[in-house]
Amino acid sequence: MNNDRYLTFALGKGRLANKTLELLEKTGITCEEMKDKNSRKLIFVNEELKLRFFLAKGPDVPTYVEYGAADIGVVGSDTIMEENRRVYEVLDLGFGKCRMCVCGPAQARELLKHHERIRVASKYPNIAKDYFFNKKHQTVDIIKLNGSVELGPIVGLSDVIVDIVETGSTLRENGLEVLEEICPLSARMIVNQVSMQMETERIRSLIQKLKPLCEA
């Protein structure tokens, strides 16, 4: 083990960021500078613990970790599935819980039931493809969107969507419903495959500290 080496964390921006920092703080890992919302600085260092942190767009987190630009990442399991990078997924952090679902207007149930060739809009084309082609053996047309995916069926772009459902209010307010559940989701810790060998002790000890703090 080489304790002089900095361990680098890539953390997903947005919804998961605060909870991630809170969790790390409970294990004694703090990075005060990172809490300054007005700062435009991208990378933060804790000299004492020999740690570095940066915030990145969720889908980029597994990329940084696969290439070793970060040793450790925290990101949603949706993003891990969608990006399909060569990383170790080591811990379910138990927050950021939601579900990946096929959603649409109630009448789209029939189209799904009869395995019609439907149009599916999603921010997650790989998850949608895997679900329809590999799990359901249903040929569909996938349309990639970058947000506000619920618009798809409302404006006639698609028959259904594959998207995240948390409280269900976005669906309700737009006259849509969950038609099929694909899988539950939550925030996960991922580790670079080489770092896991080179820094086994430091990473294992972090996992052991985090485990009891993770929500069930």
Ligand X SMILES: Nc1ncnc2c1ncn2[C@@H]1O[C@H](COP(=O)(O)OP(=O)(O)OP(=O)(O)O)[C@@H](O)[C@H]1O
Q: Which of 11, 16, 182, 206 binds ligand X (CB under 6 A)?
A: 16
Q: Which of 27, 30, 126, 170 binds ligand PRP (CB under 6 A)?
A: 170
Tokens (6 digits) for 114: 């009869």
Handedness of CA 199, 204, 210, 214 (dihedral sign): positive
Q: Which of 60, 66, 78, 159 binds ligand X (CB under 6 A)?
A: 78
Kindly indicate which of the ranges 11-19, 65-73, 125-133, 194-202 contains the residues binding ligand X, using the contact rule CB under 6 A: 11-19
x/- mask, ligand PRP, residues 122-161, rule CB under 6 A, reads -------------------------xxxx-----------
Give Cα 100 to chain centroid, integer Å.
11
> Vertex 72, ends 54 and 25: CA angle to 5°?
70
Q: Are 51 and 6 in contact (CB under 8 A)?
A: yes
| Burial zone of 40 (CB within 10 Å; 0-12 exposed, 13-18 middle, 19+ buried) | exposed
Q: Which of 45, 164, 198, 207 binds ligand X (CB under 6 A)?
A: 164
CB of 29 to ligand PRP, least distance (A): 27
